[in-house]
Amino acid sequence: QVHLVESGGGSVQAGGSLRLSCAAPGVARQSACMGWFRQAPGKEREGVASIYSIGGGTNYADSVKDRVTISLDEAKNTVYLQMTNLKPGDTAKYYCAAAIANYYCHVIWPEGFDYWGQGIQVTVSS
């Protein structure tokens, strides 16, 4: 059974930083792509960032490109999302996901990911 567990969320003021972690024991090594997504109330789930498990190439949504960094620690089976200069518009529930194949890794398309964590809330106040 696959388990993805997010941590590191919380409330910060605009301009602050957070690092989200996703523990993915056994998943990260079996998956071609790991990703972070977010969903704000009343909005569709959107891709934030993704990383290829082999090679470590990364992809970012334009809305966050200069403010977030995704990384993968294979030894710890953990995927990270470092977020800086957070804005109120970043407020959402953030999800970690894993894709068996990497077909949609570059576009960070939710339907292209197979396993999901339960999500963690990030709230940015102005």
pLDDT at 25 over 80: yes
Residue type, 106: H
Phi-psi region of 42 (alpha: psi -120 to 50; beta: other; left: phi over 0): left
Model pLDDT, residue 115: 93
Distance of alpha carbon 91 from alpha carbon 40, whole angstroms: 7
Give the confidence band of 5 by pLDDT, cuts at 50, 70, 90.
very high
Model pLDDT, residue 1: 64
> Which residues are CB-neighbours of 109 under 8 A, at least 6 positions away?
47
Model pLDDT, residue 28: 63
Please provide the average confidence, as pLDDT, over all residues in the chain.
94
pLDDT at 30 over 90: no
Give the confidence band of 85 by pLDDT, cuts at 50, 70, 90.
very high
Top pLDDT among 21 and 55 is at 21
pLDDT at 95 over 70: yes
Do 81 and 19 meet the contact criterion of CB atoms below 8 Å apart?
A: yes
pLDDT in tens, 54-82: 889 999 999 999 999 999 998 899 999 99
Pairing of strands 68-73, 120-125: unpaired
Q: What percent of the chain has pLDDT over 90?
A: 81
